Amino acid sequence: MPRTQLQRMMFALMTVIVTVHAYVFYSLYVVNGSTLMNVTGADSVLGAVNAMGGVYMLGRNLPIWAVVIIEFILAYTLEITVGSPMSFKLACKVFDPRETHPVLFETAIICATVGIMCPSMSFLAAILYYPYYAGFNIFTLLANWIKLVCFNFPFAFFSQLFFIQPLIRTVFKFAMSKIGNNDTAEARKASA
């Protein structure tokens, strides 16, 4: 779908913007929401986060916007440097992009991306959200990592395959068609 390096970076940017917000919501509300409300006695997850003074990350409570920015920077960097290039190579090992139906090839890329990004981002999350107040133990870190992969993988797989990637691909195709139409109109004006 994206052909140039700039298009790949824009596609990754659009994907990461949607994905990070989805994961922060999923982590706070779905996975940890009831625990946060029970600990603080708040009647809503947002009330619990406010009562705690933010979201616990890197040994301190940070505002939700800071959590989103930190996760965005890490996810975008990982997607550009590792996720996208490796997922395309993995999909090409199984399917020939010239002979495979585009939907099947894109699905293979999505599955490979989830297989790379979910364990990688879950490991980073295990480091970011580690309970440093209790001291550090490598086995606790590894156990937290495995737990996060188990929580995140089903959500990552189904949300990317059925919601996020179809949405981003539709928006990206629309944006590229508008940019392409503007370039064609400008070329016609220049040649007239």
Q: What are phi and psi of 56, to 5 degrees?
A: -70, 120
Structure tokens at 153: 């993988």
Per-residue pLDDT in tens (0 to 9) along the chain, 192 residues = 567 888 889 999 999 999 999 999 999 888 888 989 999 999 999 999 999 999 999 889 999 999 999 999 999 999 999 999 999 999 999 999 999 999 999 999 999 999 999 999 999 999 999 999 889 999 999 999 999 999 999 999 999 999 999 999 999 999 888 887 665 545 455 555
Cα 67 to Cα 2, 4, 64, 75, 160: the distances in Å are 29, 31, 5, 12, 21
Do 89 and 115 contact (CB within 8 A), yes or no? no
Structure tokens at 144: 């937290």
**Burial profile 52-68: b = 16 or more Cβ within 10 angstroms, e = fewer:** eeebbbeeeebeeeebb
Give domain limits for the chain: 5-169
